[in-house]
C-alpha cells in the first residue's frame, strides 16, 4: 500500500510579499490578501492592516457600483453581461459577490463562479465570493477592505453584488459611489411592497429582463417606478434618478445604463460631491467599527455574562423593564448612569 504524500505547505507571505504581489496583479496573492483581511484571527489583523496601509496610496481610482435586486431579478446574469461588456471595452472588473450565510449552520453557498462561468474565465475580471458571516444586510464586514485590495491590484471597476433587497440597502450605499437597484416588470403589484428607503437610496433603477415578450410589461413597470420617484421628488444632490430598461440575457440597454453611471461619476468629480461622499463613508465606517467592537467587548465581558441570564429571565417574566435591564447590564460593564 503506497504512502500518501502530504501536500507541500504554502510559503508564508511577508508584508512586502503581499504588497508587491497585489500591486503586480498576482491573482493568487490577491486572493490570499483578501483571505488575510477576512480572517478573524488576531494574529492576522496587524499584518492585514499593515498591508492595507501600504496599499492605500494606490486605491480610490476605481468606480464602485453596488447592485441589489429583488429575488429572481437575475443579478448574476446581469452582472456577467455587464462585466463582459466592460472588459471588452478595456476595463478591469472585480466582482465582490456577498453570499448568504446560514445562521444555523454558519455555512455559505459560494456559487457565483459557477453562475458566472464566462466572466470567471475572463483574464480582465476577478470574482470573489465572500460569506457575509451574519453581518447586517448580508454585506461582508470586510467587503470594504477587499474593495481596496482590488483597486490596488489595478481593477478600475468594482461591482458589489448583495444577497437581495432588505437591510443591505444602507450598507451597500455607504460603501459605493453608485447604487443600482434591479427590478422586475409587474410594477403595479410590486410597488406596494417596495420600501421608500430603497427608492431614496437608489442612484438608478433598472427594470431587468426587458426582452422577448416581456418588453411592453417592462416599459409599463419603468413608467410606474418613474412616477413613484417623481411623486417622492427623488433626487440626490442635483442628480435625477434615471429609470431604465435592460436585459442581462441579451445585453440590451447595458451600454446606456453604463453611460448613466459614468455620467454620475463625471458630474460628482466635477462638483466635488464624489470625494465628499467617500469621505463621509469613511467616517461612518470608522464609527460603525468602533460601535461593533464596543458591543462585542461588552457582550463578552465576564461580569456582563454573569448577570445577563437573570436580567433576561426577569424581563421575560415582566419583573423588569427593558430600560432597567439595559441599565444593569451597563452597570455590570462598569458604566454607571
Please, what is the end-to-end C-alpha distance for the chain in angstroms? 71
Query: Please, what is the Cα angle at 212 between 206 and 218, to 5 degrees?
Result: 35
Burial state string for 26-39 with b = 16 or more CB within 10 A and e = fewer than 16: beebbebbbebbbe
Fold of 60-270: Rossmann fold (3.40.50)
Q: Which of 6-15, 28-37, 175-184 has the lowest mean pLDDT?
A: 6-15
Prediction pTM value: 0.85
Burial class (CB in 10 A: 0-12, 13-18, 19+), 3: exposed
The 10s digit of each residue's pLDDT in 248-265 is: 999 999 999 999 999 999
Mean pLDDT: which of 32-36, 66-70, 130-134, 182-186 is highest?
32-36
Backbone angles phi, psi at 37, to 5 degrees: -75, -20
**158 three-state secondary structure:** strand
Query: Please, what is the Cα angle at 188 between 187 and 193, to 5 degrees?
Result: 75
- Confidence (pLDDT) at 293: 87
The 10s digit of each residue's pLDDT in 262-317 is: 999 999 999 999 999 999 999 988 898 888 889 989 999 999 999 999 999 999 99
Query: What are the residues facing 129 on neighbouring strands?
Result: 97
The 10s digit of each residue's pLDDT in 193-244 is: 556 667 778 899 999 999 988 888 999 889 988 888 877 765 667 888 999 9
Whole-angstrom distance, CA of residue 82 vs CA of residue 87: 9
Place of cell 440597502: 169
Query: What are the residues facing 64 on neighbouring strands?
Result: 158
Ranges of CATH 1.20.5.170 domains, the chain: 12-58
Q: Please determine, looking at this structure, whether the domain spanning 12-58 carries the CATH number 1.20.5.170.
A: yes
Ranges of CATH 3.40.50.300 domains, the chain: 60-270
**218 three-state secondary structure:** helix
Amino acid at each position: 500500500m503506497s504512502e500518501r504524500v502530504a501536500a507541500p505547505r504554502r510559503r508564508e507571505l511577508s508584508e512586502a510579499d503581499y504588497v508587491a504581489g497585489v500591486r503586480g496583479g498576482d491573482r493568487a496573492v490577491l486572493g490570499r490578501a483578501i483571505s488575510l483581511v477576512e480572517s478573524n484571527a488576531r494574529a492576522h489583523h496587524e499584518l492585514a492592516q499593515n498591508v492595507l496601509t501600504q496599499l492605500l496610496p494606490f486605491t480610490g481610482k476605481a468606480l464602485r457600483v453596488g447592485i441589489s435586486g429583488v429575488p429572481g431579478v437575475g443579478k448574476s446574469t446581469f452582472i456577467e453581461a455587464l462585466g463582459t461588456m466592460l472588459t471588452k471595452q478595456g476595463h478591469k472588473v472585480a466582482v465582490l459577490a456577498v453570499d448568504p450565510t446560514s445562521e444555523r449552520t454558519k455555512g455559505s453557498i459560494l456559487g457565483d463562479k459557477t453562475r458566472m462561468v464566462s466572466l470567471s474565465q475572463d483574464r480582465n475580471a476577478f470574482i470573489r465570493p465572500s460569506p457575509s458571516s451574519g453581518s447586517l444586510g448580508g454585506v461582508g464586514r470586510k467587503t470594504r477592505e477587499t474593495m481596496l485590495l482590488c483597486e490596488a491590484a489595478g481593477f478600475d471597476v468594482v461591482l458589489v453584488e448583495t444577497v437581495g433587497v432588505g437591510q443591505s440597502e444602507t450598507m451597500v450605499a455607504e460603501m459605493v459611489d453608485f447604487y443600482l437597484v434591479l427590478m422586475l416588470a409587474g410594477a403595479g403589484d410590486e410597488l406596494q411592497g417596495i420600501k421608500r428607503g430603497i427608492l431614496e437610496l437608489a442612484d438608478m433603477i433598472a427594470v431587468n429582463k426587458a426582452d422577448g415578450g416581456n418588453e411592453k410589461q417592462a416599459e409599463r413597470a419603468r413608467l410606474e417606478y418613474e412616477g413613484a420617484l417623481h411623486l417622492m421628488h427623488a433626487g440626490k444632490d442635483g442628480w435625477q434618478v434615471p429609470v431604465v430598461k435592460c436585459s442581462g440575457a441579451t445585453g440590451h440597454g447595458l451600454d446606456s445604463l453604463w453611460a448613466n453611471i459614468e455620467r454620475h461619476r463625471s458630474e460628482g468629480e466635477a462638483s466635488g460631491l464624489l470625494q465628499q461622499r467617500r469621505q463621509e463613508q469613511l467616517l461612518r465606517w470608522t464609527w460603525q467599527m468602533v460601535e461593533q467592537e464596543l458591543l462585542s467587548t461588552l457582550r463578552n465581558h465576564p461580569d456582563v455574562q454573569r448577570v445577563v441570564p437573570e436580567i433576561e429571565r426577569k424581563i421575560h417574566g415582566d419583573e423588569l423593564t427593558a430600560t432597567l435591564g439595559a441599565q444593569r447590564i451597563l452597570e455590570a460593564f462598569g458604566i454607571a448612569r
